[in-house]
């Protein structure tokens, strides 16, 4: 654990009498793809919301680059370079693909919400926007209306827009949720591609995706850390098998099974 970019130290979150996240500690290493997984009701979403500051922990603390961000708002952590993509595709359907990415880039100009800025000012962002679209293989669709894109391509666009905000740590919430097999494969390869030189923390339910790209996996069950390690270690852990399959005799199925 030589270079953690994000650390959670004994974080918990209580809703009344219900303890949704219970004394969770984890370290996300710089340059890794770190996956947060678990069966339904394990506390993944609540934990993810705590780490991205959409919820405040009841106890414990969160560090980013060694600095305590426990009391930060989502806007403050975004300014630090912690950028979250949402589970539901967060794009503007009435804008073109290029315009969506350019909107993300406006943050760099300090005019994120100045929609009335002149076309000449915003056009200077087009070259960078096209570079980002090339990263996610959407350059040929730059002038297509976003509403016309297939679902998987909308998720790719969302990743490009997120990259436009220059994340030091990119957080992906169920990036392959609701996709067909072909789109899952495309987006999995895309996440691996854009992870070069970046750090990604992701919540994901698809074990094929996890086995293909995750460097490290934290497994939650009933709000607690059940196991942690690489895919080989976690998938062969009897407690993890029991949590997912109801039996310690059935191995989890991965991409190479």
Q: What is the CATH number of the domain that holds 19?
A: 3.40.50.300
Largest Cα span, the chain: 63
Judgement on whether residues 131 and 207 belong to the same structural domain of the protein: no
The pLDDT assigned to 91 comes to: 80
Report strand pairing: 169-173 vs 82-85. Answer: parallel
Q: For residue 127, what are its two tokens?
A: 């070259």
pLDDT tens figures, 72-126: 998 899 889 999 886 556 688 899 999 889 887 876 555 554 555 556 666 678 8
Domain that holds residue 133: 82-166
- Taking only the tens of pLDDT, the chain with its 257 residues reads 468 999 999 999 999 999 999 999 999 999 999 999 988 889 999 999 999 899 999 999 999 999 999 999 988 998 899 998 865 566 888 999 998 898 878 765 555 545 555 566 666 788 899 999 999 999 999 999 999 999 889 989 999 988 888 889 999 988 888 888 888 998 999 999 999 989 999 999 888 999 999 999 999 999 999 999 999 999 899 998 888 765 444 445 544 33
The pLDDT assigned to 255 comes to: 40
Residues 6+ apart with CB under 8 A from 15: none
Judgement on whether residues 47 and 94 belong to the same structural domain of the protein: no
Q: Give the separation between CA 210 and CA 2, rounded to whole angstroms.
A: 23
The pLDDT assigned to 148 comes to: 94
Judgement on whether residues 50 and 111 belong to the same structural domain of the protein: no
State which of 166, 190, 209 marks the end of a domain: 166
HSE at residue 76, side-chain half, CA atoms within 13 A, is 11
Query: Residue 254: inside a domain, yes or no?
Result: yes
Query: Residue 35: inside a domain, yes or no?
Result: yes
The pLDDT assigned to 178 comes to: 83
According to DSSP, the residues that pair with 178 across neighbouring strands are none
Number of domains in the chain: 2
How many helices (H) and strands (E) in the chain? 10, 10
Nearest to 83, CA basis, from 199, 237, 235: 199
Q: Give the separation between CA 35 and CA 16, rounded to whole angstroms.
A: 28
Judgement on whether residues 106 and 158 belong to the same structural domain of the protein: yes
Judgement on whether residues 110 and 53 belong to the same structural domain of the protein: no
Q: Give the separation between CA 111 and CA 82, rounded to whole angstroms.
A: 19
Contact predicate 34/47, CB 8 Å: no
Judgement on whether residues 106 and 162 belong to the same structural domain of the protein: yes
- Helix ranges restricted to H, the chain: 44-51, 74-80, 97-109, 119-123, 126-135, 151-164, 181-194, 207-213, 231-235, 238-245
Q: Give the separation between CA 200 and CA 194, rounded to whole angstroms.
A: 9
Sign of CA dihedral 146, 147, 149, 154: positive
The pLDDT assigned to 34 comes to: 97
The pLDDT assigned to 243 comes to: 82
Residues 6+ apart with CB under 8 A from 88: none
Q: Is 175 helix (H, G, I), strand (E, B) or coil?
A: coil
């Amino acid at each position: 654990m030589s270079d953690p970019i994000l650390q959670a130290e004994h974080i918990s979150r209580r809703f009344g009498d219900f303890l949704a996240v219970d004394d969770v500690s984890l370290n996300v290493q710089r340059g890794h793809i770190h996956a947060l997984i678990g069966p339904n009701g394990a506390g993944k979403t609540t934990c993810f919301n705590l780490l991205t500051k959409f919820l405040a922990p009841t106890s414990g603390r969160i560090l980013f680059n060694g600095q305590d961000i426990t009391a930060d708002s989502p806007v403050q952590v975004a300014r630090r370079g912690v950028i979250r993509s949402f589970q539901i595709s967060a794009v503007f359907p009435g804008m073109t693909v290029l315009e969506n990415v350019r909107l993300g880039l406006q943050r760099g100009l300090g005019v994120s919400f100045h929609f009335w800025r002149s076309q000449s000012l915003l056009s200077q962002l087009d070259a960078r926007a096209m570079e980002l679209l090339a990263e996610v293989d959407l350059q040929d669709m730059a002038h297509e209306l976003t509403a016309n894109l297939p679902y998987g391509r909308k998720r790719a666009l969302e990743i490009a827009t997120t990259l436009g905000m220059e994340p030091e740590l990119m957080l992906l919430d169920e990036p392959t949720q609701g996709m067909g097999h072909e789109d899952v494969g495309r987006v999995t390869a895309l996440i691996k591609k854009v992870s070069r030189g970046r750090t990604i923390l992701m919540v994901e339910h698809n074990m094929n995706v996890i086995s293909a790209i995750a460097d490290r996996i934290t497994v939650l069950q009933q709000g607690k850390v059940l196991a942690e390690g690489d895919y080989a270690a976690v998938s062969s852990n009897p407690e993890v098998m029991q949590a997912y399959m109801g039996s310690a005799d059935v191995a989890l199925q991965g991409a190479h099974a």
